[in-house]
Structures are given as structure tokens and as C-alpha cells.
């Protein structure tokens, strides 16, 4: 079975490489990472490798495997990308953003989590901040319920979210001189202030999201998998797993059956012209079916 997976991954890898090109043409990219145990050469221990998820505009997902958690992984993958990047505050992205081509969009869910973690030590401030962040999400919920397009959503944010953000900033500035920097609430305040420009960026464009939860949801399939397959047998095995994960995760976002997709693609890939490789990606396959069925 491992050999079958290996052979399938090798066949499917050109599709994933094409998906990477598509993602790098997107207006925005969501990205996050998760560790995976990888068996070392001695076969008696495991070490940490990392799978980085990158999601583009068309629900294309590419997992990129790296043997370390260094900045080299995202820097190499994103290259000269010049759109918006939804990410957490991982320092490894700083070098990429310092190039000045891409624009960072921070995550309010990460920020909220830090204030939630300070509930037991400073409940008054934490509850107040959680309530204000909740109002930001109320705006997003209203837009979703009313099926607003990007233009309408941006107008709604300008009318309501901007004033809430002003309130939040005022509280953060007041608290920054009142709390101990290394306390849980102090760290939450410091995180929010340090990310403030990027945290406000989602209000500049209705196509941007308030958080990076999309990437976190995609990474759950890896977290669930770890409980079953336990570890990758080698770096090469983890790279092949990233190929399979890329296609399965894309199928889930495109709302298509992964089994039907893979059965059809594996039959066609060896004879499919290179110029039509876009039809073999999950999003392209779905469009193909909608046109010809």
C-alpha cells in the first residue's frame, strides 16, 4: 500500500505544482503550518517536520513539506508573491514581508485566543476585550447572513467595524501602561498592539477575511491523520503525503468527492496533454464537470 501511495503521489505531483502556480496568482493567500513526526534514519526515533498549507482564491490548497520550521520554507514557496497574505505572527514571515511586495493580513482569531487565555488572571479586562472582538465578528456574521458581496461588505465594515477598532485601540493603549508586560493579559495586549496595522488591514478590502481560520480548518485533516498514521517514514514520504493532502484538502473545499476525483484523474493523467493540466486540478475538474454534464 505504501508503494501504491508513492506511485500515485509521483503521478499526481505535476498537478500540485500547477496548483502552486495558480495560488501564487491569487489576490490573497491563507497560510499556516503544523508539525508532523518524521522517522529518522535510525528507525528508532522521530523528529519534527512541518506541513505548510497555502490556500488560494479558487479553493486550491497546496501543502508544502519542510524538514525544519525555519523561514526558508515560506520564503521559498511564496517567492515574489505581491498580493495579500493571511498569516499568524510567526517571525519567519517577517523576512518575506520586509521585501515590501506582499501585504500582511493578521488574524483576529489568534488575537482573541490570547485574551481568552487571560480570563482567569484578569477577567475584567479579558471579558471587555472579548466583547469588543465579538462585535467585530457580529459585523461579519451580518454580512454572511445577508449574502453581501465584497463591495457591500467593505462598506459595512467602514460603517461599523472601524469605530469598534478605534475603541479597541484606545483600550489597548490604556492597558499597555497598566498591566505587567509578562502577565497573560500583558502578552495579549502586546501581541495586539504589535500586530495592529495588520489586524486592521481586513477593513481595506471586502475580499479579505477577519481571520485565518480557513487555513486552520484545512490543517485539521493533518491533525486527524496524525492519530492514525502516527508518523511519516522519511522526508520523501512526508513530501508525498503533502501531495496527497493537497488534492484531498482541495476536494473538500471544492465540495467534490475525493474518491471520484482521484479515480478519474489517475485514469486520465498519463494521457492528458500538458496544456490541459488545469482541468485536472480539483477546482478545474469541478468546472469541467459543470460544463459537460
Mean pLDDT by 10 residues, the chain (293 residues): 86 94 96 90 82 94 94 92 91 85 94 96 97 97 95 96 97 95 96 96 96 94 83 88 94 94 90 87 87 64
Pairing of strands 46-55, 61-66: antiparallel
Indicate if 57 and 116 belong to the same structural domain. Answer: no
Exposure class string for 24-62: b at 16+ Cβ within 10 A, else e: bebebbbbbbbebbbbeeeeeeeeebbbbbbbbebbbbb
Q: Is residue 10 domain-resident?
A: yes
Give me the phi and psi of 248, to 5 degrees please. Answer: -65, -45
Indicate if 87 and 142 belong to the same structural domain. Answer: no
The pLDDT value recorded for residue 126 is: 97
Indicate if 225 and 100 belong to the same structural domain. Answer: yes
Shortest CA distance to 238 belongs to which of 11, 32, 34, 25? Answer: 34
Q: Is residue 205 domain-resident?
A: no
63 SS3 class: strand
Indicate if 9 and 126 belong to the same structural domain. Answer: no
Indicate if 171 and 123 belong to the same structural domain. Answer: yes
Indicate if 112 and 179 belong to the same structural domain. Answer: yes
Indicate if 159 and 22 belong to the same structural domain. Answer: no
CATH of residue 273: 3.30.420
Beta bridge partners, 46, equal 39
Chosen domain end from 147, 172, 200: 200
Indicate if 240 and 98 belong to the same structural domain. Answer: yes
31 SS3 class: strand
The pLDDT value recorded for residue 287 is: 86
The pLDDT value recorded for residue 289 is: 76
Shortest CA distance to 38 belongs to which of 68, 60, 62? Answer: 68
The pLDDT value recorded for residue 293 is: 61
Chosen domain end from 146, 171, 200: 200
237 SS3 class: helix
Domain hosting 91: range is 2-104+213-292
The pLDDT value recorded for residue 39 is: 86
Q: Is residue 164 domain-resident?
A: yes
Q: Is residue 259 domain-resident?
A: yes
d(C-alpha 240, C-alpha 11), whole Å: 10
Chosen domain end from 165, 200, 235: 200
* Contacts by 179-184, CB closer than 8 A, 24 or more apart: 179/122, 179/125, 183/118, 183/121, 183/122, 184/114, 184/117, 184/118, 184/120, 184/121, 184/122
Structural domains counted in the chain: 2
105 SS3 class: strand
Q: Is residue 206 domain-resident?
A: no
The pLDDT value recorded for residue 276 is: 86
273 SS3 class: coil
Mean pLDDT of the chain: 92
pTM: 0.92
Q: Is residue 265 domain-resident?
A: yes
Indicate if 117 and 184 belong to the same structural domain. Answer: yes
Q: Is residue 141 domain-resident?
A: yes
Indicate if 84 and 137 belong to the same structural domain. Answer: no
pLDDT above 90 coverage of the chain, percent = 74
The pLDDT value recorded for residue 253 is: 94
Indicate if 150 and 230 belong to the same structural domain. Answer: no
Indicate if 194 and 56 belong to the same structural domain. Answer: no
Amino acid at each position: 500500500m505504501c508503494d501504491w501511495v508513492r506511485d500515485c503521489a509521483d503521478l499526481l505531483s505535476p498537478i500540485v505544482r500547477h496548483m502552486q502556480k495558480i495560488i501564487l496568482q491569487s489576490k490573497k493567500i491563507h497560510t499556516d503550518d503544523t508539525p508532523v513526526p518524521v522517522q529518522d534514519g535510525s528507525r528508532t526515533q522521530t523528529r519534527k517536520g512541518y506541513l505548510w498549507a497555502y490556500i488560494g482564491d479558487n479553493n486550491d490548497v497546496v501543502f508544502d513539506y519542510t524538514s525544519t520550521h525555519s523561514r526558508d520554507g515560506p520564503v521559498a514557496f511564496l517567492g515574489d508573491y505581491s498580493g495579500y497574505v493571511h498569516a499568524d505572527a510567526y517571525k519567519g514571515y517577517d523576512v518575506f514581508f520586509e521585501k515590501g511586495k506582499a501585504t500582511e493580513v493578521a488574524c483576529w482569531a489568534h488575537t482573541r485566543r490570547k485574551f481568552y487565555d487571560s480570563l482567569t488572571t484578569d477577567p475584567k479586562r479579558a471579558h471587555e476585550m472579548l466583547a469588543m472582538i465579538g462585535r467585530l465578528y457580529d459585523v461579519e456574521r451580518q454580512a454572511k447572513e445577508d449574502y453581501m458581496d465584497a463591495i457591500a461588505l467593505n462598506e459595512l465594515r467602514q460603517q461599523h467595524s472601524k469605530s469598534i477598532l478605534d475603541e479597541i485601540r484606545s483600550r489597548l493603549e490604556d492597558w499597555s501602561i497598566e498591566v505587567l508586560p509578562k502577565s497573560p493579559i500583558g502578552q495579549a495586549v502586546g501581541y495586539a498592539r504589535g500586530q495592529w496595522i495588520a489586524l486592521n488591514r481586513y477593513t481595506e478590502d471586502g475580499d479579505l477575511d477577519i481571520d485565518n481560520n480557513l487555513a486552520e480548518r484545512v490543517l485539521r485533516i493533518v491533525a486527524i491523520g496524525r492519530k492514525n498514521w502516527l508518523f511519516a517514514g522519511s522526508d520523501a514520504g512526508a513530501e508525498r503525503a503533502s501531495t496527497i493532502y493537497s488534492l484531498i484538502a482541495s476536494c473538500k473545499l471544492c465540495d467534490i468527492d475525493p474518491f471520484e476525483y482521484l479515480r478519474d484523474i489517475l485514469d486520465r493523467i498519463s494521457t492528458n496533454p500538458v496544456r490541459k493540466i488545469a482541468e485536472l486540478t480539483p477546482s478545474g475538474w469541478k468546472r469541467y464537470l459543470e460544463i459537460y454534464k
